[in-house]
Structure 1
Amino acid sequence: MIEKLSSSASPESLRVSVVVPVYGGLSLLREQLTALSAQTYGKPFEVVLSDNQPNSSLELWLTEFVRKTHIDERITLRRIDSAAGTGAAYARNRGVAEAVGDLIAFVDADDVARPDWLEHLVAASRRGDLVAGPLDTSRINAAAVAEWRPSAPLHEPSRTPGYFDSASTANMAVSRSAHEAIGGFDENARWAGEDNDYSWRVQLAGFSMVFEPRAIMDYRLRRSRRELWKQMVAYGRGDVANHVKHRPLGHPGMNHPFLFPMVVVSLALRNPLLPRAVTRMSRGRWIYYVAYEYGKIRGSIENRVWCI
């Protein structure tokens, strides 16, 4: 019998861990750790930096960070080595294995948690086994970069009509019992979309998910078009992998062959060689859509399915 957090841990005894997968990017990590050190959550918690980079300098960097930064005594900050495997999914699983928490929160190293983020996330965990929070791109990104991607709603989770809602690994918390019941993150996920897969498997296993709009994470976008292209291709490939994995489980699928020609024509008519006054779309937004569709095509070839 699976014992769920909502009935097994009281607010007074709840142990909380924040797991952060790290692979370089220490200048941006400094911002996130500073934000986590300033949380209004009034009880002890730990921050586990899961270091996925071989021959990393994170240990020395962290020692210097702690020396120069005031860390509240209620916060335990530590590094664990996760360089034996590859990818964020492996790093998160290793982080959970080393963490002491009954409730595990996940964040990315390059984002910035709002001061009351953890307080709201922990409070919401009384209502569900998996808690999702919103990602706000308006504060820490240049306006031109923020315009490249459609803004995610701040008042509701990511929806998949006909299936389950999902949480982002950049802003979620899960009971240890739920995480262990599903075997953690799928370390075979090669591209992206492991957070969707994780959220869906948690709910398929009978656990509940809730959304807490006040647990806001300031989300950092890719700052160059090249980085945006790479990310969106990975998203497309990841969505195809999830299509293959979850279609037999009740997912309505992501294959829309009758809409695909319309998408191609629309993007062709809005290509950045034409004047912006005609296309009404920035070069970055165009790359966002084209890269994702290209990723789905590549994913279809790799998985030998038709998913466009």
Structure 2
Amino acid sequence: MQLSVIIPCWNAEATIAQQLEALRQQHWSEPWEIIVADNGSTDATQAVVQRYQDLLPHLRLVSAVGKQSAAFARNVGARAAAAPLLAFCDADDEVGEGWVAAIGTALKQHNFVASRFEHRKLNAPHLLQFRRPNQAKGLMQHPFLPHAGACGLGIQRALHEQIGGFDEAIRFLEDNDYCWRLQLAGVSLQFVAEAVVHIRYRETLFASFFQAQQWGECSVLLYRRFLPQGYPPFTWKDGWQEWFALAKRLLKVRSKGTLAKWLRDLGWRIGRVKGAFKYRIFAL
């Protein structure tokens, strides 16, 4: 076995079949397996996966109960893996044609790799208006260090174990933390344009707002953690300018798309304020 594809999941009965079907169409000259790490689903997720085991003989379902987090489920899946190469994808996305071969081949040449994200296939047009097409042309850029989404990451198993896997104490943005810790340890992150993942967005305004708020709050935890390693410090001036710009943008909301983008940005900033109080550090 050369490559283990790990899918963390929780109550994913509505989407995981699409991901497993996409993986069923994959071909690679090297032996590979799929590990679904179920994080305590209460719906029919396990039944869906079990049906696919008849179609995918290299598919395994493992229990990842004990802690409710994607990071925990990924780590459980990695420990169950039989291969020296690991690749991660999510239960609500869809890997593109040739993804397994592209990510597996890339890991023969590099220690740590990221896929290219495609945003149109799984999302309605109005959802595309308020989200930047992150990772469509390269790694996500950040004032501190570049990073990539966990869905589509590939890594040498030895390196994953060396840094202790994903940090299970972080509920959100654990992929940022993972990428940054590896880079600070001297491991470069390579973008693999041939490895395409179709990304699915949250479908309602509330879900998008709530997700942004969670991300904003956890971004403060990462700020506090990585400030000593060179994360650029936040300033009062920048914080108030961003709040003022957000207030001005409300006057220009003219459509569902612009409202959705404004609400998402508001959620992020509210999350930052919550994080500032929770983690006792300035982060407006």
Per-residue deviation, 1:59: 3.5
Per-residue deviation, 1:65: 3.4
The equivalent of 1:276 in structure 2 is 254
Per-residue deviation, 1:206: 2.3
Say whether 1:114 aligns with 2:96: yes
Structure 2: gaps (5+ residues)? none
CA contact (8 A) 2:53 2:60 kept: no
TM-score, normalised on structure 2?
0.93
Say whether 1:26 aligns with 2:10: no
Say whether 1:61 aligns with 2:39: no
Per-residue deviation, 1:57: 4.3
Q: Which runs of 4+ in 1 moved over 6 A?
A: none
The equivalent of 1:300 in structure 2 is 276
Per-residue deviation, 1:202: 1.1
CA contact (8 A) 2:8 2:39 kept: yes
The equivalent of 1:194 in structure 2 is 174
Partner amino acid for 1:154? A
CA contact (8 A) 2:106 2:192 kept: yes
CA contact (8 A) 1:270 1:281 kept: no
Inter-partner Cα distance in structure 2 for 1:126 and 1:250:
31
Partner amino acid for 1:78? R
| Aligned pair partner of 2:65 in 55, 61, 83 | 83
Per-residue deviation, 1:56: 5.9
The equivalent of 2:163 in structure 1 is 182
CA contact (8 A) 2:7 2:90 kept: yes
Inter-partner Cα distance in structure 1 for 2:236 and 2:100:
42
Inter-partner Cα distance in structure 1 for 2:69 and 2:99:
26
CA contact (8 A) 1:127 1:210 kept: no
1:11-49: CA deviations, max 9, x gaps?
Answer: xxx610011001012120000000011113233211100
The equivalent of 1:205 in structure 2 is 185
Inter-partner Cα distance in structure 1 for 2:107 and 2:263:
37
Farther off after superposition, 120-129 or 30-39: 120-129
3-state SS, counterpart of residue 47 of structure 1: strand
Report the aligned-residue RMSD: 2.0
Say whether 1:151 aligns with 2:133: yes
Partner amino acid for 1:264? W
Partner amino acid for 2:266? V
Inter-partner Cα distance in structure 1 for 2:207 and 2:159:
33
Inter-partner Cα distance in structure 1 for 2:74 and 2:121:
26
3-state SS, counterpart of residue 171 of structure 1: coil
Per-residue deviation, 1:113: 0.3
Per-residue deviation, 1:208: 2.5
The equivalent of 2:196 in structure 1 is 216
Say whether 1:260 aligns with 2:239: yes
Say whether 1:101 aligns with 2:80: no
Say whether 1:127 aligns with 2:109: yes
Identical-residue share of aligned pairs (%): 27
TM-score, normalised on structure 1?
0.86
